[in-house]
Structure 1
């Protein structure tokens, strides 16, 4: 298993679907290597993952918060999340719990698993075979793109909201 961390969530420009990008990390949680594992997810799960990453409080528990609360009430902790296989373009995952019945694994969608993991701060792992099959190594950005990005950042740093008022 390869330990990974959510690098970002982006949108697929071809179909506006959210894509979570997972990158391998070392024992300190720092990104290592060039591989990126893209997993397409639904909009509600993307929002839930982002809310969990940003630790945004909700006045009422959202679905993943409710699930975590239920686990705690029943005496279970979420130990880790594992993306275990890829079959026909569909990723499969398992949440690993520890509690009164010992250690148990439960089949889950990767998106739900990650939404739980970010709330509990537990590690995410991907089977090496899945990484080998589905991970990509992004091409480095062109210098022109880097320059454009730098100019845009500079613009954002110096823009005055009144510039947009007619």
Structure 2
């Protein structure tokens, strides 16, 4: 198993939503794209950005139900891929003990993003469906882009812009 983080939520060329999971270990050059529904994409984005919906979304309700019953999410795992379908498990710690629940990866990740649970991917899944990171076009953080642009402006001379 490889621990991952949510690197982003994006759309492919056909407009389909996908979540990008990136290994936390330094030096990893792979990202795992998993296609998800639009509602799940919105739910994950809301959680990752720390925003709140006007009314509780399904994943907010899941979190509230877990809290009300004294259960916590121990971890989320993307366990396998069969016929281009990803499978996941949510491991709960309950007053009665541990419990593993079958889930869609999109729902598992949306819940994990709300409760700060670690997300793991089976090695076989990452090997089978991972893609090189440079193909994802991961966007550098905004601060770095602004600093680079300021440096360019500081060093630029009027002649640099002459046609």
Q: TM-score under structure 1 normalisation?
A: 0.79
Q: Report the equivalent of 2:9.
A: 9
Contact 1:18 1:42 in 2 (8 A): yes
Change in CA separation of 1:140 and 1:131 when aligned onto 2, cut-off 3 Å:
closer
Q: Report the equivalent of 1:132.
A: 127
CA distance in 2, matches of 1:93, 1:120: 17
Contact 2:77 2:119 in 1 (8 A): yes
Deviation of the 1:140 alpha carbon: 6.5
CA distance in 2, matches of 1:140, 1:76: 39
User: In structure 1, which of residues 102, 114, 117 is the aligned counterpart of residue 112 of structure 2?
Assistant: 117
Deviation of the 1:52 alpha carbon: 0.6
CA distance in 1, matches of 2:40, 2:117: 17
Q: Report the equivalent of 1:24.
A: 23
Contact 1:83 1:125 in 2 (8 A): yes
Equivalent residues in 2 for 1:11-160 (5 A)? Answer: 11-13=11-13, 15-26=14-25, 32-139=27-134
CA distance in 1, matches of 2:91, 2:75: 5
Report SS of the residue matched to 2:107.
helix
CA-based RMSD of the aligned residues comes to 2.2
The runs of at least 4 consecutive aligned structure 1 residues that moved more than 6 Å come to none
Report SS of the residue matched to 2:90.
strand
Report SS of the residue matched to 1:36.
strand
Deviation of the 1:60 alpha carbon: 2.4
Q: TM-score under structure 2 normalisation?
A: 0.80
Contact 2:46 2:53 in 1 (8 A): no
Matched pairs, number: 141
